[in-house]
Amino acid sequence: MERKVFLDSASTTYVNAEVLQEMLPVFDTVYGNANSLHNFGRAANELLDKARDRVAKAINAKASEIYFTSGGTEANNWAIKGLVYANNLKGNHIITSQIEHDSVLETFKELEHEGFRVTYLPVDKNGIVNLANLMHVLSSNTILVSIMTANNEVGTIQHINAISKTVKEKGILFHTDAVQAFSNLKIDVKELNVDAMTLSSHKIYGPKGIGALYVKRGVKIKNLLIGGSQEFSKRAGTVNVPAAVGFGKAAELAIRDMKATNDKTKNLRDYFIRELKNHITGIHINGHPIQRLPHIANVSFDYIDGESIMLMLDLDGIAVSTGAACSSGDTKESHVLRAMGVPTELIKNTIRFSFTKRTTKEEINYVIEKLEVIVKKLRDISPLTKRIKKER
Amino acid sequence: MYNKRIMELFLNAKNAGEIRSADGASEVENETCGSIIKLFILAETGVVTEARFKTFGCPVSIAASVLITEMIKGKTIEEISIITLEDLLQELGELPQGKVRCVETAFEALIELLASYDKKQKRKEKIVEKS
């Protein structure tokens, strides 16, 4: 049988068996429209309430502050546009960072076209947003700051508490995209004092097609989707109850198992990097050396193209991604690595390996073995290859 | 992701390498994505007896380089000079969006290879004339 190894958990995860178990009856037994008043609807609504409670509990929010969406992208779009449109009388300056997910960056670009003034904050070589830079650009005209909790490509974790504190002291709205961080970091929205936070299910062993936006009680936000009273009249459209149920369970499990999961994936990731360094020369690990999510290893290989590496790994049954997973379908270079100042000749040569709870050391050994052959083959045909001294 | 023909060329990577005292050599960089294609030939009697490449780039860049070396081996310089970009594209088959540029780069390397061969030939003729 052909061997398959999935090292792309930052793009999506499998659905946990316990999660799937809770979801199944919602497809064929409790399948009512949660908005319907009859008993089928009420039964579905009860499950939806429970799911909302679980997601809320995971970030120490109130259930009434959690709005289910179709995923992280919708939540990011909604948070930014909704907060800006509801508060645009207070100013027209908005701030984000250069390393956000495209669903944030593209929304800011659209607002920029509409006439808002946008600051895209730079990051240092490790991918960290400088607090002094942020303080410098905040003004009485600023209405929103949106900075991700942790980056999806390199895993760098921001000083999100300090950022939030700085922004909130000025009375400015603060949103954070916590899609990649949720389940790896303890998140407490009360402590963080954040106004809005984006969450997603399919990065935490829950189903795809469901996410949530946390909006602090009292914060004004304009609807993105209209034409229905669902989600406290804030987000129209029939709620995907089976997915919401799955998301709720996945969130509960993620918080319960956080330490064990983090320890496991971090051990695997560190083992992978050690083995990589032992077997392959001319590699560079991108992202913050310590302040980084435990399951991501972003690696640049001297002299060889990332897409060629990815394709050869794929033929050996190994799934990884080049740059951001969402960008893998096209040849766009990583804006994250660019912002971090990774040299142009290395940006193209980058692969993101991200580990799941199921990854084994034996799988990693297999990947290293294949990778060693692939890297040698591609370096043999690359005109850039120079003699690399073994670093061992 | 890519068709069978491209995968074959990419994976076999036939004719990889350099020729030290080549009768023609070229190097072209694709400025959009940074890929680099180098081509080398031996063609002492006007027939290509050996063709090699070195490529840094995506699977299509590598496949197109291999294809060129395969196509020109055993051919005369005149025969090679009538190869067009369309010939390469047809041989490679369907490409994902945005990948035509990679084949164009390989084709530019072929054009430069022919120019380099011409230049070397002219230099050789001059030396013969002088002696």
Residue whose pair of structure tokens reads 């045909």 in the numeric block: A381
User: Has residue A88 got a pLDDT over 90?
Assistant: yes
As a whole number of angstroms, the distance between CA B45 and CA B53 comes to: 21
Task: Enumerate the residues of chain A whose CB falls inside 8 A of the CB of residue B33.
Answer: 331, 333, 348
CATH number for the domain spanning B123: value is 3.90.1010.10
Cβ–Cβ of B58/A345 closer than 8 Å?
no
Residue in chain A closest to B10 (alpha carbons) equals A308
The beta-carbon neighbor of A303 closest among B11, B56, B61 is B56
pLDDT in tens, A225-262: 999 999 999 999 999 999 999 999 999 999 999 999 99
Terminal CA-CA length for chain A: 36
Alpha-carbon distances of A268 from A182, A296, A359, A365, A371, rounded to whole Å: 20, 10, 8, 11, 16
Tokens of A117: 């003034």
The DSSP-derived string for A191-247 is: HHT-SEEEEESTTTTS-SS-EEEEE-TT-----SS-SS-HHHHTS-S---HHHHHHH
Please check whether residue A352 is in contact with residue A321, taking contact to mean a CB–CB distance below 8 angstroms: yes
Domain range A5-13+258-387, CATH class: alpha beta
Please check whether residue A159 is in contact with residue A124, taking contact to mean a CB–CB distance below 8 angstroms: no
A332 — pLDDT class (breaks 50, 70, 90): confident
Per-residue pLDDT at A391: 40
The beta-carbon neighbor of A384 closest among B10, B56, B61 is B56
User: Has residue A369 got a pLDDT over 50?
Assistant: yes
* B 52-71 residues with CB < 8 A to A: 53-59, 61-62
pLDDT in tens, A150-190: 999 999 999 999 999 999 999 999 999 999 999 999 999 99
Task: For chain A, give the percent of residues with pLDDT over 90.
Answer: 94
Per-residue pLDDT at A149: 98
Tokens of A252: 């509960």
Which fold is adopted by the domain A17-256?
Answer: Aspartate Aminotransferase; domain 2 (3.40.640)
- Which one is catalytic: B72, B102, B103, B109? B102
Distance from CA of B61 to the nearest CA of A (A): 10
Task: Enumerate the residues of chain B whose CB falls inside 8 A of the CB of residue A345.
Answer: 34
Cβ–Cβ of B56/A380 closer than 8 Å?
no
As a whole number of angstroms, the distance between CA B93 and CA A120 comes to: 41
Per-residue pLDDT at B58: 94
Cβ–Cβ of A345/B34 closer than 8 Å?
yes
Residue B58 designated active-site: no
For chain A, the maximum distance between any two Cα atoms, rounded to a whole number of angstroms, is 74
Per-residue pLDDT at A323: 63
CA A267 to mean position of chain CA atoms: 21
Asked if B36 reaches chain A (Cβ–Cβ under 8 Å), the answer is: yes
Classify residue A299 by its DSSP letter.
E
Task: Enumerate the residues of chain B whose CB falls inside 8 A of the CB of residue A381.
Answer: 13, 16-17, 53-55, 62
| Burial state string for A230-243 with b = 16 or more CB within 10 A and e = fewer than 16 | bbeebbebebbbbb
Per-residue pLDDT at A327: 34
As a whole number of angstroms, the distance between CA A108 and CA A96 comes to: 8
User: Has residue A389 got a pLDDT over 50?
Assistant: no
Cβ–Cβ of B34/A348 closer than 8 Å?
yes
Distance from CA of B131 to the nearest CA of A (A): 37
Name residue A196's beta-bridge partners: A175, A215
Cβ–Cβ of B56/A315 closer than 8 Å?
no
As a whole number of angstroms, the distance between CA A35 and CA A42 comes to: 8
Angle between helices A39-58 and A241-256 in degrees, nearest 10 = 30
- H or E element that contains A106: helix A102-113
ipTM of the shown complex: 0.93
Q: Which residues of chain B have pLDDT under 50?
A: none
Domain boundaries, chain A: 5-13+258-387, 17-256
- Select from A279, A270, A272, A271 the least CA-distant residue to A390: A279
Per-residue pLDDT at A358: 95
Domain that holds residue B90: 4-130
User: Has residue A390 got a pLDDT over 50?
Assistant: no
Asked if B99 reaches chain A (Cβ–Cβ under 8 Å), the answer is: yes
Chain-wide mean pLDDT for chain A? 95
Task: Enumerate the residues of chain B whose CB falls inside 8 A of the CB of residue A382.
Answer: 54-56
Domain count for chain B: 1
Task: Enumerate the residues of chain A whose CB falls inside 8 A of the CB of residue B57.
Answer: 305, 308
Q: Return left, alpha or beta for A62; rule: phi > 0 is left, psi -120 to 50 is alpha, else beta.
A: beta
A326 — pLDDT class (breaks 50, 70, 90): very low
Cβ-Cβ pairs closer than 8 A, A with B, add up to 52
The beta-carbon neighbor of A330 closest among B11, B38, B98 is B98
Write down the pTM of the prediction: 0.93
Per-residue pLDDT at A100: 98
Chain A interface residues (partner B, CB cutoff 8 A): 303-305, 307-308, 311-312, 314-315, 330-331, 333, 344-345, 348, 377, 380-384
